[in-house]
Amino acid sequence: MAESQNGWTVLKEPPPSVTVPGTDVRLTIRPGDVAVVLLEVARRFHEEVEPIDRGVRDDWGWAYRPIRGKTTGFSNHASATAIDLNATQHPRGVKGTFTAAQKRAVHAILADLVDESTGEHVVRWGEDYTTTVDGMHFEINADAAPVARVAARIRDEDDDMKALDKIRLGPSSKRVLNQPDGIITYEEMLAIQTASAVEAVRLLTTLVQEQRQANELITAMLAEVKAQR
C-alpha cells in the first residue's frame, strides 16, 4: 500500500472530520492516536498562539495529493497525518509571519509532545523546515508506537478540566450570574466558587462576632439581675 512521506498509509477517501475543542473548526484527521495528537496541537495553537476560528475557513487536514512541488511521493496530508492552521496568515514559503513570542509558544507545545520512551518529537512544524518554510503546517513525525504513547498521555491529561473548558449553567445560575448564553469557562467557575467561599467565611465570621457580642450582653444582664437580688 502507498505511504506518505512520514511512512503512514495513504487514505484514498477522507476520514471523518472532528472539531477542534473550544472552536467551531473541523479538521479531517486520521482517526485514533493521530487525531488525539493533532487535535491537541490545534487546540493549544488556538489557545496559546492565535485563534483559528476567525470566520475564515483556512484550516484543513486530509488531501489526497503528492508532496507539494514534486511529481512523486505522497504528501503527509494524503495519510491524514498533517494539518494546516490559519493558512492564509502563514502562506508556504513566506517567512516572518509569526512573532518571536508565538514561535516560542509553538515550540513549547511541541516540546510537550515528545515521546518519553524514545525522546522523539512526534510532531514537526513546517516553520522549522530547513528548505521552504511552511508555518501553517504541522505533521506527525514518528511511527505508530511513539504517537500512541503520547496520545495516551494526552488522554490521561484530558481527564482534568482545563481553564477554558466550557461549562453550561442551569437556568437559575444563568439568571443569578447574568450569563445570557448560560455558558462560563472552568476558570470562571473556579473564580466564582472562590469568591463564594470567601464571602461565606466573611459572613460566618460576622455571625460568630455578633453571637459573641450577644452572649456578652446576656451575661452582663444576668449579672445585673443577680446583683439586684
**DSSP string for the chain:** --BBTTSPBP-SSPPPEEEPTTSS-EEE--TTHHHHHHHHHHHHHHHHT--S-SS----B-----BPTT-SSSB-GGGGT-EEE-STTTS-TT----S-HHHHHHHHHHHHTTB-TTT--BSEEEGGG-SSS--TTEEEE-S-HHHHHHHHHHHHHHTTS--TT-EEEPPHHHHHHTT-TT-EEEHHHHHHHHHHHHHHHHHHHHHHHHHHHHHHHHHHHHHHHHHHH-
Mention every residue, 6+ apart, whose C-beta is less than 8 A from residue 30.
Answer: 8, 11, 15, 62, 79, 80, 81
Question: What percentage of the chain exceeds 70 in pLDDT?
Answer: 86
pTM of the model: 0.70
Q: How confident is the model at residue 119, as a pLDDT?
A: 95
Name the least confident of 80-84, 92-96, 111-115, 183-187. 183-187
**Region 27-33: what's the mean pLDDT?**
96
For residue 71, what pLDDT band results from cuts at 50, 70 and 90?
Answer: low
- Greater confidence (119 vs 1) lies with 119
Q: How confident is the model at residue 171, as a pLDDT?
A: 62
Q: How confident is the model at residue 224, as a pLDDT?
A: 79
**Region 151-179: what's the mean pLDDT?**
69
For residue 201, what pLDDT band results from cuts at 50, 70 and 90?
Answer: confident
For residue 228, what pLDDT band results from cuts at 50, 70 and 90?
Answer: confident
Q: How confident is the model at residue 13, as a pLDDT?
A: 94
Which CATH entry fits the domain spanning 17-157: 2.40.160, 3.30.200, 3.30.1380, 3.40.720? 3.30.1380
Is residue 112 over pLDDT 80? yes
Q: How confident is the model at residue 174, as a pLDDT?
A: 57
Compute the C-alpha angle 191/193/199, nearest 5°: 100
